[in-house]
Amino acid sequence: MNGCIQIVSAFLGSLGFGIVFRMKRRRLAFACLGGGVTWILYVLCEKYALSLFVSNFIATVFASAYAKVVAKHTKSPEIIYIITSVVPLIPGSSLYYALSSFIESSYDQFEQYAMTTGIVSAAISFGILLVTIFYNIIARTMIHIRGMELRNRNIEKNNGR
């Protein structure tokens, strides 16, 4: 039951950010789906005792790849899908507790919560970065291959004259 509540909350959180970004209705469905599936993936990784960093990293890699595919399909900016898909992973509670502990001078607790916030933030950043780098490498390679094919066709065409 708790898992269902978490998944519904992830869908609704993504929906809320989609509404804040004034996304069109057909795009909102993709945004909600991205957030929900990202959270499901995170929970599955966590269930199999993967570390906090790895769980968030894997979920973010999915969210970023999903955002690129959906953005291309809907002809929309990918940033709106990346943000709405990653929203469930954002370490809001650990950041809140870190700042609260700091204000209360509980430095041991502050260190623990700040470390958790940093780990999750780094995992999210690296996940997005990794997908973006690989996507750009693949896209440039495909453009280069297509360019080579066109040049070869033009050479063959000109030699056939």
Residue 101: CB atoms within 10 Å: 18
pLDDT band at 1 (very low <50, low <70, confident <90, very high): low
Mean pLDDT of 14-23: 87
Parse the chain into domains and list their residue ranges.
Answer: 2-159
Q: Could you report the per-residue pLDDT of 45-56, keeping only the tens digit for each? A: 988 877 889 999
| Token pair belonging to 123 | 């995992």
Q: CA 43, CA 63: separation in Å to the nearest integer?
A: 14
Among candidate residues 59, 66, 64, the one with its CA nearest the CA of residue 42: 59
Report the amino acid identity of residue 137.
Answer: I
pLDDT of residue 41: 92
pLDDT of residue 106: 86
User: Which residue, chain included where needed, has tokens 């945004």?
Assistant: 31
pLDDT band at 161 (very low <50, low <70, confident <90, very high): low
DSSP element (H, E) containing 14: helix 2-20
| Token pair belonging to 94 | 């650990």
| Token pair belonging to 108 | 């041991």
pLDDT band at 23 (very low <50, low <70, confident <90, very high): confident
For 91, 93, 100, 101, 160, the CA distances from 105, given in Å and listed in that order, are 21, 18, 9, 6, 82
Give the DSSP letter of residue 161: -
**Residue 127 near residue 61 (C-beta atoms within 8 A):** yes
The region of weakest confidence among 7-16, 51-60, 140-149, 152-161 is 152-161
**Residue 53 near residue 121 (C-beta atoms within 8 A):** no
pLDDT of residue 160: 61
Q: Could you report the per-residue pLDDT of 112-144, keeping only the tens digit for each? A: 999 999 999 999 999 999 999 999 999 888 888
Q: Could you report the per-residue pLDDT of 38-86, keeping only the tens digit for each? A: 999 999 998 887 788 999 999 999 999 999 999 999 898 889 899 999 9
First to last CA, the chain: 73
More confident site: 159 or 7: 7
